[in-house]
């Protein structure tokens, strides 16, 4: 293949909507041996739909659950929040007489707020186990397992109020794998690149997506907090043979690709951080490369282009 100079390479990339912060990073792309993928919004589209909503116990009706979801998720910017607000709206629930107070994001777990003088929680199994509120029937546990197997993200609604504390509803939201992800993963594997998918999502949903795109279960790390993603990347960097402070000579570089605020630290610490262009501004800020249209095929293009770059002797 014809070699390219730094400037020609950067221009060719820019023309395709790939913004690379300098020739050194373009060259680094050609020396990547490990690619770490975020799941939600990166391997998948991040555009969720509500698949299931079940009443748990007798405290709330389905309509009341939708109203609670709408109240709790409206202030949140998590990718799954918008679909819950939209689902409520679709069933005619728009505004509420109650607005949430002390609304708080629980990192990697969900959200909490006071609604009508009761503390409400919306979040994953991890949250309700931590609160010691994960007390549902075996039938509901079976539903959650089935929804996970479908690749869905399972959430719960819990209330801690005058009448006690319990889970009152459960739901499943799901987004879809990006069309090009299958080919991209297959090409990288064929090229001998090591792949791991890192996600804050539960293991069931993560394994289902991994299976769909052809990754072995050992290549998936689930239930990670943002700092866990960071530690995973820095741990790999530390264990690779290349600990040189400068890029020159490094041949086993680690690339992390993600889209969210929760990916910012991992993007910054990776040898090459790649941000999806429709993701969080902070992710782009912390990255070396931005794929403006979020097409994963452009990751392959960038890595191939990097391999063609002539190393200039300084």
In the complex, minimum distance from the CB of residue 38 to Mg ion, in angstroms, rounded to a whole number? 4
Q: Does 283 bind ligand ADP (CB under 6 A)?
A: no
Binds 265: which of Mg ion, ligand ADP, none (CB < 5-8 Å by kind): none
201 binds, among Mg ion, ligand ADP, none (CB under 5 to 8 A by kind): ligand ADP
Q: Which sign, positive or negative, has the C-alpha torsion 263, 265, 270, 275?
A: positive
Is 228 a known active-site residue? no
Our CB check for ligand ADP shows the closer of 105 and 193 to be 105
Nearest-angstrom CA–CA distance, 203 and 163 = 33
The residue from 199, 294, 295, 302 that contacts ligand ADP (CB under 6 A) is: 199
70/222 with CB nearer Mg ion: 222
Going by their DSSP bridges, the two strands 253-258 and 32-38 should be labelled as parallel
Residues 52, 91: contact at Cβ < 8 Å?
Answer: no
Smaller CB separation from ligand ADP, 155 or 306: 155
Nearest distance, CB of residue 162 and ligand ADP, angstroms: 24
Given 38, 259, 263, 271, the catalytic residue: 38
Give dist(CA 243, CA 269) in Å, integer: 13
Mark the segment that binds ligand ADP (CB under 6 A) among 47-55, 75-83, 273-281, 302-310. 75-83
76 touches ligand ADP by CB under 6 A: yes
Question: 3-state class of 268 per DSSP?
Answer: helix
| d(C-alpha 298, C-alpha 187), whole Å | 12
Number of H helices, E strands in the chain: 12, 13
Q: Binding of ligand ADP at residue 110 (CB under 6 A)?
A: yes
Specify the pairing of strand 253-258 against strand 289-291.
unpaired
Return d(Cα 275, Cα 282) in angstroms, integer.
9
Interface residue with ligand ADP, options 123, 151, 210, 279 (CB under 6 A)? 123
Counting contacts by CB under 6 A, is residue 196 touching ligand ADP? no
- DSSP annotation of 124 reads -
User: Of 271, 298, 267, 300, which is closest to residue 284 (Cα–Cα)?
Assistant: 267
Interaction residues for ligand ADP, span 125-164 (CB under 6 A)? 153, 155
Binder among 25, 78, 174, 250 for ligand ADP (CB under 6 A): 78
Bin 116: left if φ > 0, else alpha if -120 < ψ < 50, else beta: left
Which residues would be at the binding site for Mg ion (CB under 5 A)?
38, 40-41, 259-260
Q: Which residues bind ligand ADP (CB under 6 A)?
A: 39-40, 73, 76, 78, 80-81, 108-111, 122-124, 153, 155, 199-201, 260, 262
């Amino acid at each position: 293949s014809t070699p390219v100079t730094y400037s020609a390479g950067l221009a060719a990339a820019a023309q395709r909507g790939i913004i690379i912060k300098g020739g050194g990073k373009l060259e680094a792309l050609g020396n990547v041996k490990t690619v770490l993928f975020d799941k939600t919004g990166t391997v998948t589209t991040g555009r969720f739909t509500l698949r299931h909503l079940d009443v748990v116990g007798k405290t709330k009706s389905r309509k009341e659950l939708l109203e609670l979801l709408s109240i709790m998720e409206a202030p949140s910017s998590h990718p799954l929040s918008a679909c819950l607000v939209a689902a409520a709206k679709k069933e005619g629930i728009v505004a509420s007489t109650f607005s949430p107070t002390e609304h708080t994001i629980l990192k990697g777990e969900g959200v909490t707020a006071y609604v009508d003088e009761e503390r409400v929680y919306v979040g994953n199994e991890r949250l309700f186990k931590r609160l010691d509120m994960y007390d549902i029937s075996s039938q509901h546990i079976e539903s959650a397992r089935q929804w996970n197997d479908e690749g869905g993200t399972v959430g719960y609604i819990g209330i801690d109020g005058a009448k006690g504390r319990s889970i009152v509803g459960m739901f499943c939201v799901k987004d879809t794998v990006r069309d090009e992800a299958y080919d991209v993963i297959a090409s990288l594997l064929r090229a001998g690149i090591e792949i791991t998918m890192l996600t804050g999502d539960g293991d069931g949903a993560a394994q289902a997506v991994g299976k769909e795109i052809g990754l072995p279960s050992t290549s998936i790390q689930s239930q990670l907090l943002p700092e866990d993603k960071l530690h995973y990347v820095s741990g790999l960097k530390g264990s690779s043979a290349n600990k040189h402070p400068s890029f020159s000579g490094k041949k086993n570089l680690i690339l992390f690709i993600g889209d969210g605020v929760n990916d910012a630290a991992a993007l910054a610490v990776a040898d090459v951080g790649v941000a999806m262009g429709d993701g969080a501004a902070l992710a782009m800020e912390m990255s070396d490369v931005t794929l403006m249209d979020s097409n994963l095929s452009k990751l392959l293009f960038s890595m191939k282009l990097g391999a063609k770059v002539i190393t200039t002797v300084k």
